[in-house]
Amino acid sequence: GNSVTQMEGPVTLSEEAFLTINCTYTATGYPSLFWYVQYPGEGLQLLLKATKADDKGSNKGFEATYRKETTSFHLEKGSVQVSDSAVYFCALSKGGGGADGLTFGKGTHLIIQP
Amino acid sequence: KAGVTQTPRYLIKTRGQQVTLSCSPISGHRSVSWYQQTPGQGLQFLFEYFSETQRNKGNFPGRFSGRQFSNSRSEMNVSTLELGDSALYLCASSLGSANNEQFFGPGTRLTVL
């Protein structure tokens, strides 16, 4: 079956540091890949997505590239801010929106210190 | 435009009881999906409803059921509650096509004692 593996953390960085959160997946066919973010006390928000190989999703300074050869979708940001502190989830689905059912990783808790 | 709303936000039940959770999607959205979030298992897909029909289903026992009404509001029911059912239950709504973005609600925190 489908699965997503990501580093769980917590990951603690200083403000303005470079961020990488690794995500690898196992799936049949050609899934769509997503990064969601969950702020304390809130639901999930879609951060970015990519629907085919070599696509790059980007939003709010974050970006991730769909790498089929390495089955990866690593999240990166060049300079993190305190407001980026949250839990980040990598996910996949067959459909481009995920309504057919998203398969999530366990989540990575990111803490940014001033 | 109002977001996805879930009621109640917090719920405490005892083992053996049943519970019903409610989700109101964004206006115009016809698809509602439900997820269970626990520290051990993470986020797991329960089921998706579209136009009052269950269209997709995850791997959960029959104690977990749902339904959708003609106004797209959805309810999720868990019967014969177990301690392991303690979780944050999230719902998400979308327009319903495969490529439409899902929007998540804040969740209902269920505690089973």
What are the tens digits of pLDDT across the range B80-107? 999 999 999 999 999 988 778 889 999 9
Residue B99 has its nearest CB partner, among A89, A91, A95, at A95
A15/chain B closest Cα distance in angstroms: 27
Judge whether residue A100 has pLDDT over 90: no
B34 has a chain A CB within 8 A of its CB: no
Instruction: Give residue for tokens 């990111």.
Output: A110
Contact (CB, 8 A) for A2 and A31: yes
Distance from CA of A6 to the nearest CA of B (A): 12
Q: pLDDT at position A24, please?
A: 97
Q: Is the Cβ of B31 closer than 8 Å to some Cβ of chain A?
A: yes
pLDDT tens digits, B53-85: 999 999 999 999 999 999 999 999 999 999 999
Nearest to A67 by CA among A30, A104, A100, A103: A30
CA distance B56 to B1: 27
Tens of pLDDT along B10-45?
Answer: 999 999 999 999 999 999 999 999 999 998 899 999
Give CA–CA dist B51/A43, Å, rounded: 24
A46 bridge partner residues: A36
Instruction: With beta carbons under 8 A apart, name residues in chain A contacting B97.
Output: 97, 99
Judged by CB atoms closer than 8 Å, whether chains meet at A101 and B42 is answered as no
Are A99 and B106 a contacting pair at CB < 8 A?
no
For residue B89, the chain A residues in CB contact (below 8 A) are: none
pLDDT (tens digit, 9 = 90+) per residue, A39-91? 988 889 999 999 999 999 999 999 999 999 999 999 999 999 999 999 999 99
Question: A-chain residues within 8 Å CB-CB of B35?
Answer: 102
B98 and A105: CB-CB below 8 Å?
no
Confidence (pLDDT) at A50: 94
Residue pair B66/B47 in contact (Cβ under 8 Å)? The answer is: yes
Render the burial of A32-48: b for 16+ CB within 10 Å, e for the rest: bbbbbbbeeeebbebbb
pLDDT at A26 over 70: yes
Kindly determine whether residue B42 and residue A107, on different chains, have CB atoms separated by under 8 Å: yes
Dihedral, CA atoms, A101, A102, A103, A105, nearest 10 degrees? Answer: -160
Q: Which DSSP string do the residues of A70-83 spell out, in sequence order?
A: TTB--EEESS--GG
- CB-based contacts of A26: which residues, under 8 Å, 6+ apart? A2, A3, A4, A5, A71
Q: From the candidates B33, B43, B89, B103, which should be mutated to test the interface with A, based on the most A CB atoms within 10 A?
A: B43
Q: Which residues of A92-110 are buried (b: 16+ CB within 10 A; e: fewer)?
A: bbbbbbbbbbbbbbbbbeb
pLDDT at B1 over 70: no
Question: Is the minimum CB–CB distance between B101 and chain A shorter than 8 Å?
Answer: yes
